[in-house]
Structure 1
Amino acid sequence: MTKNKKAEYLEKEVAELTSDLQRTRADFENYRKRVETEKQSAHELGQTKSVMKLLPVIDTIERAVANVPEELQDNAWVKGVAGLGKQLDKQLKEIGLEKIDAKPGTLFNPEFHQAVQFDESTDGDKEVIAEELRAGYTLNGSVIRDAMVKVARQ
């Protein structure tokens, strides 16, 4: 093999190896990004599942506080339960849990609200919430549970 042919062969070999290395680096970078995305998704799924298990507890505490008899309003135990609910709300807000606005008079939005009752006696051109039957929540901006509502026309 002549010196020129050998140099040409070596240059071609170096070009192929360089190309292979660049492809391998690109594949590895894509793999790293995919693994990071999957890891983030798994974390978010775990967080969502954990919060979903707490929602019935939150509902129960809210119902207990909302239905305290008038004569027990100043009871220390009742105040403690109400304080527990507020503390739990604060901690959950720190991880991104937000209550969906479903106060009476709020415009009905099927992305956030699930209509389970409709007041047929009302008349109007827009649908609004007449009553919130179960609180709904978003976690980091994504709906994890729709608010169950009674809808009326206004």
Structure 2
Amino acid sequence: MTKSKAKKAEDLEQQLGELTLDLQRTRADFENYRKRVEAEKQLAHSMGQAKSVMKLLPVIDTIERAIANVPEELADNAWAKGVAGLGKQLDKQLKEIGLEKIDAKPGALFNPELHQAVQFDEAADGEKEVVAEELRAGYTLDGTVIRDAMVKVTRR
């Protein structure tokens, strides 16, 4: 009878080891699942934010054009100053959510990852391709380009 008790104890030990391994695998699987779901949730949030910002970009462009084209006789007008203030406030809020304007000022080095060249000055002579004029602003959201800056390029 001692042999059967020893055999039974050995079987229970083996079964305990197998169940312990199963539990460890289940915990690891659950942790991997939790991490994957969290990453998917973050990606969905980022995609939704990018989609929303993309819908706002034409409005931002219009406000910037309005501010840039205020007639001189209206420069001191309270309404014109209010629109300019609106533009500044909008820029501040957009920076808080991670939206940054791409540098496309004249003289900035042309970067095909950030700029979309829609015109090229063939007559220019030089080695470096630089932005001659920004035609439409480009933006990054949390470091990812969501809209290229449309630019005219020249050589210097």
Q: State the TM-score, normalizing by the size of structure 2.
A: 0.97
Corresponding residue of 2:111: 109
Q: 2:59 aligns with which of 57, 63, 66?
A: 57
User: RMSD of the TM alignment (CA)?
Assistant: 0.8
Q: 1:4 Cα shift? A: 1.2
Structure 2 counterparts to residues 1-154 of structure 1, below 5 A:
2-154=4-156
Superposed CA deviations along residues 50-74 of structure 1, whole A, max 9, x for unmatched, are: 1111111110000011111111111
Taking the aligned partners of 2:133 and 2:62, their CA distance within structure 1 comes to 18
Superposed CA deviations along residues 95-149 of structure 1, whole A, max 9, x for unmatched, are: 1111000000000001110101101110111100000000001111111111000
Q: State the TM-score, normalizing by the size of structure 1.
A: 0.98
Letter in 2 for 1:105: G
Taking the aligned partners of 1:119 and 1:73, their CA distance within structure 2 comes to 34
Taking the aligned partners of 2:82 and 2:55, their CA distance within structure 1 comes to 22
Count residues in correspondence: 154
Task: Structure 2 unaligned segments of length 5 or more: list them.
Answer: none
Q: Percent identity?
A: 82
4+ runs of 1 displaced by more than 6 Å?
Answer: none
3-state DSSP of counterpart to 1:151: strand
Letter in 1 for 2:108: T
Taking the aligned partners of 1:2 and 1:55, their CA distance within structure 2 comes to 79
